[in-house]
Amino acid sequence: MTDLEPVTDLKPGPDGLLRCAWGESTDDYRHYHDTEWGKPVHGEDPLFERICLEAFQSGLSWITILRRREGFRAAFAGFEIAKVAAFTEQDEARLLQDTGIIRNRLKIAAAVANARAAQALDGGLDALVWQFAADPERPAPRTLAEVPAVTPESTALAKELKRHGFKFVGPTTAYALMQACGLVNDHLAGCHAR
């Protein structure tokens, strides 16, 4: 790109559709942007998967996680809460050797702890998470600069998850979870997926 080319936060794809610019950076991102990101996710195990993946992403690029997603699903028993909650120290040691995932001892332990925390919730994970959904009438961001990294809702969600024993769920991770699971719609104004 030269200095004379305009910078935009929407980018047309090969199909002619305008997308949030990040959604046009790779084929993997395009598929994720169009089919998942910002779409409502409900259910205990699907939300648990997203919490785990967002925690593993902390400090890394999302594409790293996205490209290892099937490896994560295989390693973590399809993210079935009951199965992961039953993981032992031997399972955690096995996961540290699994090249299909991010082999981080603290994040692996957090995934197991989070399964146990989810299992112990009175009322379920879905109800806990969705009580922090943003106002659906919130104006669409026009630029990436208008998309926050943290909101009062994500701070409150992170605090509530931590209160129930969840790990690796700070306000920034909680906001990424909210975006990924459709609790907030941060597709830019003009994006076809909005």
Known binding residues for Zn(2+) are 20, 33, 187, 191
Annotated active-site residue 36? The verdict is: no
Annotated active-site residue 62? The verdict is: yes
Separation in Å, CA 133 to CA 52, 64, 147, 164, 167: 19, 27, 16, 18, 20
Burial zone of 81 (CB within 10 Å; 0-12 exposed, 13-18 middle, 19+ buried): buried
C-alpha to C-alpha distance for 154 and 92, rounded to whole angstroms? 29
Per DSSP, the three-state class of 90 is: helix
Q: Are 50 and 181 a contacting pair, CB within 8 Å? A: yes
Annotated active-site residue 175? The verdict is: no
Q: Which of 62, 80, 92, 160 is catalytic?
A: 62
C-alpha to C-alpha distance for 148 and 186, rounded to whole angstroms? 9
Go through the chain and tell me how many residues it has. Answer: 194
Pick out the residues of the known binding site. 20, 33, 187, 191
Angle at the Cα of 188 from the Cα atoms of 27 and 161, rounded to 5 degrees: 85
In eight-state DSSP terms, residue 187 is P
Q: Which of 22, 24, 29, 32 is catalytic?
A: 32
Q: Which of 24, 44, 54, 153 is catalytic?
A: 54
Which of the residues are catalytic? Answer: 32, 54, 62
